[in-house]
């Protein structure tokens, strides 16, 4: 007599195979789990202008700003950013589509301007120099220079995940901060870093005097520490943030930007 395989068992096997296939086909960047500690200094400041921690976990990125106490969640699978204000206990959402549309409009506006500096910001072209031995990179132009010290990521998934988040976060910043620098110069640098699977441990940006968007010479230095493995406190922080997204009051983007009554 032929043995019949239980239907429940067959369904379990099918589900396991489906999960395995999905994992094999998913973007490796979505499986990368690591943390970055960031500090930014402006001009000759001795103390950081800003400090933040960025956690990459299961395809979602959690960026925590120290002061003010805010978190930005890059939820690519659902095509959105979630912004959380820890003090006011509110959150809002911005779609990736809206962020991309704003960046595209900014690029088109820059291309329509007669000022060569503004045109450069919309379509940056750098003279790129790389010292492979010391991992020093220089991106030069008449208006802006990036000088970076980099380290090997040792993992293409980390390189990909970092570039993707950094690109989108730069786009988001132009939407959140009126008058912010367009994201495209930094995105060009990010592309060069990913190509070489490098991570910027230190970056120096110098913007030269120019009428309009940069009225005076500005120097910005940032330090970034890559931690390739998450610890339990990172996962606890992510879990807490997920809880905050569920319990914080949701408000409109305009309200979140500062129109909430205290």
- Element at 103 (helix H, strand E): helix 96-112
Token code pair at residue 100: 């991309």
User: What pTM did the predictor assign?
Assistant: 0.84
Q: What is the dihedral of CA 215, 219, 220, 223, to 10 degrees?
A: 180
pLDDT on residue 50:
93
In this prediction, residue 180 carries a pLDDT of 86
Which residue positions in the chain have pLDDT lower than 70?
1-29, 209-216, 259-262
Name the one residue in this structure whose structure tokens are 């930094």.
Answer: 186
Enclosing H/E stretch for 139: strand 136-140
Percent of the chain with pLDDT over 70: 84
Tens of pLDDT, residue by residue over 195-228, are: 999 999 999 999 985 655 545 678 999 999 999 9
Closest CA to 40 of 172, 225, 220: 220
**How far does the chain reach from its first CA to its final CA, in angstroms?**
77
Q: For residue 26, what pLDDT is reported?
A: 55
Phi/psi of residue 49, nearest 5 degrees: -70, -35
Cis peptide upstream of residue 2 (ω within 30 degrees of 0): no
pLDDT of amino acid 89: 96
């Amino acid at each position: 007599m032929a043995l019949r395989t239980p239907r429940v068992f067959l369904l379990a096997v099918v589900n396991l195979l489906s999960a395995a296939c999905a994992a094999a086909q998913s973007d490796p960047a979505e499986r990368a789990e690591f943390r970055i500690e960031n500090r930014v200094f402006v001009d000759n400041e001795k103390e950081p202008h800003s400090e933040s921690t960025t956690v990459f976990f299961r395809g979602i990125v959690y960026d925590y700003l120290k002061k003010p106490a805010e978190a930005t969640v890059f939820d690519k699978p659902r095509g959105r950013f979630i912004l959380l204000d820890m003090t006011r206990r509110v959150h809002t959402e911005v779609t990736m589509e809206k962020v991309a549309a704003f960046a595209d409009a900014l690029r088109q506006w820059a291309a329509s301007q007669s000022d060569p500096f503004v045109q450069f910001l919309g379509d940056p072209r750098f003279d790129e120099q790389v010292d492979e031995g010391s991992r020093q990179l220089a991106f030069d132009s008449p208006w802006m220079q990036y000088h970076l010290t980099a380290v090997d990521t040792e993992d293409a998934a980390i390189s990909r995940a970092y570039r993707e988040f950094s690109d989108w976060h730069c786009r988001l910043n132009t939407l959140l901060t009126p008058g912010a620098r367009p994201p495209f110069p930094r995105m060009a640098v990010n592309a060069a870093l990913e190509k070489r699977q490098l991570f910027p441990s230190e970056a120096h940006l110098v913007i030269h005097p120019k009428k309009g968007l940069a009225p005076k010479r500005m120097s910005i230095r940032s330090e970034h520490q890559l931690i390739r493995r998450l610890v339990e406190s990172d996962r606890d922080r992510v879990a807490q943030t997920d809880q905050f997204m569920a319990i914080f009051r949701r408000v409109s983007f305009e309200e979140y930007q500062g129109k909430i009554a205290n």
